[in-house]
Amino acid sequence: MEISKKLPKENIMLVGFPSNGLVGTFTISYLVHHLEMTQVGEIEHPDLPPTLFVEDGEILPPIRIYKKNNLFVIMSDLPFDPFVAYDFAESILDYSKKNHIKKIIIISGMETVNRDPKAPKVFGLVTHKSLEKLLYDYGISKFLAGSIFGTDAAIITSFRKSKIPALVLYAECHPFFPDPEASIVAITTLARVLNVKVDTADIQKRIEWLRIQHRNLMEQTIRSLQQQQEKKPGGAPQIYR
């Protein structure tokens, strides 16, 4: 496994949570593991079901904060509804302000109408014009048209009102199954942005392990996405081309 030790000089926050294809969960879990990031905190919310996870004999809370040098991570292992998502976003912003975060990067998955399952693409959406150049520099296609709803919309709504610019990386994926191919594309795209070298063979092995490890999480996420889909006005697709 080859990983560059050259991490960003400015403070950057990565955010991942269960969504379509578990892309955000897989991507952030992979980087936390291979960059050997240290858990430095956790986020609690009274509306989340009381849940703990155990990994290698260690008890883990569902929403954790990690850090290594100037790179921070907030990741959730529980799906949540849009109302809790607003509080989740505000907690991220509050923590980011206290730690002088200059940029937030969110990783998520999106269902698309015309998707090549063997060659998923990544699209970028920015909350502030100051990040437009980043899309160009790293060859990330801009998310030009479509609709965002549910948890993603709640989080992005809070971020776009903040002074801290945010980039959302959306990987095309299957909405109701863990999608390793989409996760690999998301990981390699994020690695370019962070100047971190990754080995795709190693990623594949890690993704398969995560897919088995998170079977129950995928089932919970599917139920959450289906509930949000039923509440979505007009039944418009999440993104269209």
**HEC readout, the chain:** CCCCCCCCCCCEEEEECCCHHHHHHHHHHHHHHHCCCEEEEECCCCCCCCCCEEECCEEECCEEEEEECCEEEEEECCCCCHHHHHHHHHHHHHHHHHCCCCEEEEEEEECCCCCCCCCCCEEEEECCHHHHHHHHHCCCEECCCECCCHHHHHHHHHHHCCCCCEEEEEEECCCCCCCHHHHHHHHHHHHHHHCCCCCHHHHHHHHHHHHHHCHHHHHHHHHHHHHHHHHCHHHCCCECC
The domains of the chain are located at 12-235
Fold that domain 12-235 belongs to in CATH: Rossmann fold (3.40.50)
Predicted confidence pLDDT, tens digits, the chain (241 residues): 344 545 557 899 999 888 777 888 888 988 888 888 998 988 776 666 656 566 666 667 678 899 998 999 998 887 777 777 788 888 888 889 999 999 999 998 887 766 665 678 888 888 888 888 888 888 888 787 777 777 778 888 888 888 888 899 998 887 777 777 888 889 989 998 998 888 777 777 777 776 666 555 555 545 544 454 444 444 433 442 2
In this prediction the pTM is: 0.80
